[in-house]
Structure 1
C-alpha cells in the first residue's frame, strides 16, 4: 500500500499537467478561429537615427557707430594711454563715429586711432598704403603670428591684405586673409570680397565659392559694386573646367603677373611645369581626336581625300600624355618654353579650334618668358 500510493500521486500530477497544456492549446486555437488572425506582436520601438544638423553660417555685419566707439574706447583704455594730447586727438576721432558713416569710413577712423596709439601700426599703415610703388614685404608679428581675433589685429591685417590685393600680390594677401577671424571686422563685406578675388585669381574654386556664398547670402549691407562682381565671379567659376584652355590661359596670365612683380622662384617654375604639362595633354587629346576622325573617314572610303589625316599637327617623338620632358624645361633648353615644333603644333591646333584671344594670350606668354630668360642670362 505504501508503494502504490506514491505512484497514484505521480500519475495524477502528470494528468493535471497534460490538462493544463490541453487548455492552453484550446485557448490559442479558439483565439485564432474567433478573431480570424494570429495575435499581432507588439512592435519594439526603434531608436530613430540622429539627423546631423548643418552648422549655421554666421551672419556678418559691420558694427554700428555707437558699438564701434565703445570697442575703440575699451581698446585705448587697455593700452593705458595717459598723454593728454593723444587722448584729445582720439576723442575728436571717436566723436565722428556718432554720424552716419560707411564701413570703409569707419575703418579709416579706426586705423587713425590705432596709429595714434601704436607706433608699429602707424608704420605698417604707412608702408602698405596704396601708391605707385610696390610695398616692401615684411613679416612683423602683428601680421604673421597666430590668428587675428581682436579688433586691433583683425582690422590692421585686413587693411594690409586688402591693399596687397590691389597691388596684385594676391598670394601674400590670401595668406594674411586666412589668419583673420571676421567676427570683429569693421568691414566684413570688404574682407570677403577681396579674399574671394584672391581665391578666384589663384583658381581656388571650392574656397572661392564658399567665400562668395558667405558674402552674398550671409553678410549684411554689402555694397552693390561688390555684389555685382561677386555674381560675375560665381558665374565664371561654374563654367571653368579643369585643364581647359581657359584655365591654362589664366595660369599663363598669373605667371606674367608673378614675373612683373619680380618673382621667378620655385613657385613660378612649378606653375610653368603645370602649364607645359596641361598644354601637352591638350595637344595630345586633340591629335588623338584628329586621328580617330581620320581613321573613321578612311574606313568610309575617303582615305584619298586631301583633307584627311592630322599629320600637319602631329608631334614626332610625343611622350605619354601629361608627362613633361624635364630636359626641355632646363635652362640650357629654354626655361619654361615648349620646343619650336610643339609651339607650332600647339598654335596650329589652337588656331583651328579656339577663339583668337587664346592664341594671342599664348603668344604673349611665350614672348614674356623669352624676354625674362634673356634678362636672366645678361
Structure 2
C-alpha cells in the first residue's frame, strides 16, 4: 500500500508541475503529504486532468487544433492512475516527457508517437501493436476492455493503427477505426482528416472524402505542408466525374489493390462485377449514341432535296469506284484482334497499358470470356 501511495503522490506532483491548469489547494497538499489512500489521491488528479482537457478552439468555433502538450500529459497521467501502474513504470513514462521544450516543439504526429510509446511502457498489448506495425503489421484491431476502454486511450491507439493501415493500403480496415473518431478529442486532428479522406477516396466515396478534405484545408490549424499539398490534389481528383472510363479505371485500380494485398474474398468479387457492369453500361451508352446519330442523319436527309446524296458524292474519294462500305467481320474466340497483324496488335495493347491501369487487359479478357460463355 505504501508503494502505491508513493506512486500516486509522484503522479499528482508531476501533473501539478507539468500542466498549467493544474493547481493544488492547501487541503490537497495536506492530503498528498499525509499519503492517504489511492482513492483519495486519485480523485484530485482525475478532476484536475478533466478540467485541463477541455477542447481548445480558435476564435472560430469550427476550427480544429491539435491538443496541447499540457492536455496530453494530463490525460496520460489520468490513464496511468486508472491503470494502477507501479513506480518503476511511472518513472519511465514521465522520463519521456521530461524535456518540455523539446516536447513542445514536436509536430502533432510525433506527439502521437510519443504518447504511444508511453502507453506501450504500461501496456504490453500496445507494445505488441507498435512492434508489429514496424514489421509486418497487425490486421486485427485491439481489444479495448477494462482500462483500455478509456476514450482517450482508445481513440489515440485507433488513430495510430489506422495510420499504418492507410499507409499500407488497407483502406477498409483503416476506415473501421477512423469512422467514429472525434477530431475534437484527437491528439492530431489533421492526421485524422487526412487519412480518412485518403481511405474514402480510394474506396470510391469521393463526396465523403471531399467533406474531410474541406475540414482539413479550411477548418484545421497546423496542417503539415505535405498534407496540404496532397490534399489539394485529392480535392481535384474527388471532383472528377464518376462515370464512364474514369469510373472503370477507379474500379479496376481498387481490384488491383485488393489482389496485390492477397485478397480474393467477396468484396473483391463484388468489385469485379462492378467493373463488368460499368463496361456493359459504357458499351450500351455508346451504342445508343450511335443509333441516335444515325436516326438524326436519316431524319435530316428526308426534309431537303436529297442532300444526303450530294454529301455522299462530295465525300467520295476522287477516282474511287466503291461506295465506301467495309465488310462486317464476325468476332471469333481464337484470341486474335480482328484483322490486325501481330505488330498492330502489339501497338494496340501497349497503348492500353499506357493509358489504363495494369489490369485493364485482364478485365477485358474476363469480360469477353463471360460474354462468350453466355452465348453457349
Q: TM-score, normalised by structure 1?
A: 0.64
Unaligned runs of 5+ in 2: 1-59, 302-307, 317-322, 339-344, 368-376
Q: Name the structure 1 match of 2:116.
A: 111
| Contact kept in structure 2, 1:291 and 1:309, CA below 8 Å | no
Q: Name the structure 2 match of 1:80.
A: 84
Report how far residue 96 of structure 1 moved. 3.4
Q: Name the structure 2 match of 1:125.
A: 130
Q: Name the structure 2 match of 1:38.
A: none
| Contact kept in structure 1, 2:252 and 2:357, CA below 8 Å | no
Post-superposition CA distance 1:15-65 (Å, at most 9, x none):
xxxxxxxxxxxxxxxxxxxxxxxxxxxxxxxxxxxxxxxxx9742211222
Structure 2 CA distance for aligned equivalents of residues 309 and 285 of structure 1 = 24
Report how far residue 185 of structure 1 moved. 1.4
Q: Name the structure 2 match of 1:183.
A: 184
**In the comparison of the two structures, how many residue pairs are matched?**
280
Q: Classify 1:365/1:202 alpha carbon distance in 2 versus 1 (closer, same or farther; 3 Å).
A: farther
Q: TM-score, normalised by structure 2?
A: 0.65
Q: Name the structure 1 match of 2:165.
A: 164
Structure 1 CA distance for aligned equivalents of residues 74 and 80 of structure 2 = 10
| 1:89 is the counterpart of 2:92 | yes
Q: Name the structure 2 match of 1:250.
A: 250
Q: Name the structure 2 match of 1:268.
A: 268
Structure 1 CA distance for aligned equivalents of residues 172 and 294 of structure 2 = 46
| Contact kept in structure 1, 2:163 and 2:174, CA below 8 Å | yes
| Contact kept in structure 2, 1:256 and 1:365, CA below 8 Å | no
| Contact kept in structure 2, 1:161 and 1:174, CA below 8 Å | yes
| Contact kept in structure 2, 1:174 and 1:198, CA below 8 Å | yes
Report how far residue 369 of structure 1 moved. 6.9
Report how far residue 85 of structure 1 moved. 2.0
Structure 1 CA distance for aligned equivalents of residues 254 and 211 of structure 2 = 22
Q: Classify 1:208/1:86 alpha carbon distance in 2 versus 1 (closer, same or farther; 3 Å).
A: same
- CA-based RMSD of the aligned residues comes to 3.8
Q: Classify 1:164/1:356 alpha carbon distance in 2 versus 1 (closer, same or farther; 3 Å).
A: closer
Structure 2 CA distance for aligned equivalents of residues 60 and 340 of structure 1 = 61
Report how far residue 154 of structure 1 moved. 0.8
* Bigger mean CA offset, 112-121 vs 147-156: 147-156
Q: Classify 1:287/1:75 alpha carbon distance in 2 versus 1 (closer, same or farther; 3 Å).
A: same
Report how far residue 66 of structure 1 moved. 2.4
Structure 2 CA distance for aligned equivalents of residues 149 and 222 of structure 1 = 27
Report how far residue 255 of structure 1 moved. 0.3
Structure 2 CA distance for aligned equivalents of residues 224 and 368 of structure 1 = 43
Structure 2 CA distance for aligned equivalents of residues 365 and 97 of structure 1 = 57
| Contact kept in structure 2, 1:81 and 1:87, CA below 8 Å | yes
Structure 1 CA distance for aligned equivalents of residues 250 and 327 of structure 2 = 28
Report how far residue 150 of structure 1 moved. 2.2
Q: Classify 1:176/1:244 alpha carbon distance in 2 versus 1 (closer, same or farther; 3 Å).
A: same
Paired residues for 1:42-81 under 5 Å: 58-81=62-85
Rg larger in structure: 1
SS of 2:99's equivalent in the other structure is helix
